[in-house]
Chains A and B, each alone.
Chain A
Amino acid sequence: MLKIKNNSKVNLSDIPVLKIGELRDEIIKENKRPIGFFGKDWGEGRIRLFVILEDAPELLVSSAIFEADEKSYECITNEIPSFHIYEREFYEQFGIEPLHHPWLKPVRLNQDKYEFFEMKGEEVHQVAVGPIHAGVIEPGHFRFMCNGETVYHLEIMLGYQHRGVEDLMVKNPSNQLAESICGDSVIAYNTAYSQMMENLKNIQVSNKAQLIRKVCLEMERAAIHIGDLGAIAGDIAYLMGASVFGATRTLVINTMLEFCGSRFGRGMVTVGGVNYDLSDEKIERALKTFDKVEKDVERMTNTMLKNSTVMSRLEKTGTVSEERAKEAGLVGMAGRACGIDVDSRFDFPDKWNEELGIRKKAFKASGDVNSRFKLRYKEIRESFSIIRKCLAKLADYKNDPLITNGEDMAKDAFVVSIVEGWRGEIVHIAMTDNDGKLSRYKIKDPSFNNWYGLALAVRNNGVSDFPLCNKSHNLSYCGNDL
């Protein structure tokens, strides 16, 4: 397997081409976490399958070609379960069947044709929710198999927002498109896309632009985490938490508004750098706001963690054990809350980690809602500490350009760009053809891996605790549906 670095370019011809059997053996031998597993039309009815495995701080890449008459292969899921969702996606997109796959359920298409698992019995009842929900959340269908108030199994059906983003990206790549893929991870998605393009165009982004991107990424993380703490409080009818966190989140996103004219950071990041500079005055005002936000969040969190009625709702609700989480291949925040040590900010560190002294801090995970609640609080504090360090460092690079221009896109190149959004790793993978045009764009949102984790979390919990499990994960529908 070829070793490559995150956020760097390799020649497509350097990637090994194996027979699928050999590739399968190698994947099983390496036994590493999959980050990408996707196909590309290779002409003349052939399909080339690319595999990217995590081998922090590097990545392993390999591929195999399916000839026109090869329409199946022995699945990997039975050996490494975390491949389950990737193989389902590959089957759906290219029609090559992973044989003996335990659960070839559609990922985004043909929802109507799928037959859900069913439990039989007199006390058993099914509760179907969605795809259209009360309130302003995205569409997704949930089907609970319940015995009285207890959920035995939850099946989740998504794909109602499938827009064909990957194809759109190939046809007409732009920052505007990239930041519209998932509206709550604007900065993360846009940064991943921009890094990709910068690699293809051979652009070295200025230090100043890098730092501003980092600040905005952490602000996005802090804002969403604070909002979700409030949402968790709202779901357990703890009003004070809902109001205080709601108000403090607004302070953070309003600061973003001051930075770039959009509360969610649209238009901030662009290929080659960032569109907006941060003046000293803006930085000073932002720092003052962050002081207040941090204080309010700390006070409210501690109040909640001391309230017995709150704790009785959070503790031991929606638990996913570390073992199950590893099997299912959970990533990002949801994975860390179960004790999996995965954070692409530290697995694939950039130079700033060392220069600014940003270090990974330990977290005692218990896998329940309480764990996700506390992890969010911890990450909020870390984000603010990173923001402060970056803003202080920014003064050293006053005269750096905001945007650096580059050349034409490289030909026959292959780039992987991973950014740790607030949910977890956002992976963008791009390939160019020999005209220097994009020929394949693959996106993987952390929710793609984590939705199954939510189904695991709900098992043997009360059906009335589902909203709490759901809100503590807060997974993306549009990021999954693409």
Chain B
Amino acid sequence: MIIKILNLIILLFVPFLMAGVIKKTKAFWGGRKGASVFQPFYDFVKLLKKDFVISKTTSKVFTIAPIVQIASVLFAAMFIPLAYGNALINVSAGLIIFAYTLSLGKFASLISAMDTGSSFEGMGASREACFTSIVEPAFFMTIASVMALSGNYSFTALQNILSSSGNYGILITIFAIAVLFIMILIEGSRVPVDDPTTHLELTMIHEVMILDNSGLDLALFSWANSIKMLLLSSLIAYMIIPAGVSVWVSILIYLAVMFLISVLIGTIESGMARFRMSHVFEFVFVMSSFALVVLSLVVARMFGG
């Protein structure tokens, strides 16, 4: 029970810390002191206290979407083993429910963006939908291959891969992590895919879709987005944490992985420019090609020598 509560706390609060660490890293590379790592949480609380402004051109869809988004992300979280122990819902083929629950949330945010009738938001929605359609198969291919290798179609399969499959295991782990990391950059709308700090509507992807949201709605959308990053990072952590370690070691490694991923994202954002929109698609295809590598490694392992 305590473990479950601990996992819940991690799920709800570590996303803010990750966002804070990313910002702090960027400040460090920019030669600035930067805001406290708790700032994203303060911002969240601030938004909760604010009033809504709802555009007259919108319908019910616009008001429901943030709730659908946060609910779907939290529901998807139940299929993911977090810092320690099993997932709340540990079923075979949980992967499919996981991915499509996330997609449901994204669908809600897409139609909510279209609902405002703003040409910016329509453009953002079209970009986001386009990326999603490329990301999804790559994600399935990677995770499903890994699961196929261990013959276990739940997320627990990820944990055994490093230890059970020798050199193949190491290679598969590396490429699967690469796939997941690129997916974090895309889903979390980070540089080089998207620029989370820009004020230029024409260049935005994720930010422009929530341009009309305010107060609680905006808070829920940005929280959901951070949680999504945490969930994908958790998959990476889960592949690294060895089976059979004690609770505290596991939590420690988990938090360390979250921290490292945040620092890495912050460093990437400081050291490179954002891709040109047409090049972003090529970058997304890099993820697909890594996924194919994972698939072929698994095939080689299962049917090869």
Contact = CB atoms under 8 A, between A and B. Distances in A.
A233 B32 CA distance: 17
Contacts of A127: 119-120, 123, 202
B276 A465 contact: yes
A237 B30 contact: no
B203 interface: yes
B32 A237 contact: no
Contacts of A317: 276
Interface in B20-36: 26, 29-32
A134 interface: yes
Contact of B202 (A125, A236, A313, A467): A467
A237 B122 CA distance: 23
A467 B203 contact: yes
Contacts of A462: 276-278
A312 B279 contact: yes
B199 interface: yes
B277 A464 contact: yes
B86 interface: no
Contacts of A99: none
Interface stretch (A112-120, A159-167, A238-246, A445-453): A238-246
B5 interface: no
Contact of A149 (B120, B198, B199, B278): B278
Interface in A433-482: 462-467
Interface string A109-134: 00000000000000001111100001
Contacts of A463: 123, 202
Contacts of B32: 243
A466 B31 CA distance: 29
A307 interface: yes
Contact of B273 (A125, A126, A129, A310): A310
Interface residues on A, range: 20 to 34
Given A134-B201, A312-B279, A467-B203, A125 B269 contact: no
Q: Which among B26, B269, B276 has the highest number of chain A CB atoms within 10 Å?
A: B276
A307 B273 contact: yes
B270 interface: yes
Contacts of B29: 239-240
Nearest to A142: B202
Interface string B113-150: 00000011011000100000000000000000000000
B200 interface: yes
A238 B272 contact: yes
15 contacts: A125-B122, A127-B119, A127-B123, A129-B202, A233-B273, A235-B198, A235-B203, A237-B274, A243-B30, A243-B31, A244-B31, A309-B272, A313-B275, A317-B276, A465-B277
Interface of A: 125-129, 134-135, 149, 233, 235-240, 242-244, 247, 307, 309-310, 312-313, 317, 462-467
Interface of B: 26, 29-32, 119-120, 122-123, 127, 191-192, 195, 197-203, 269-279
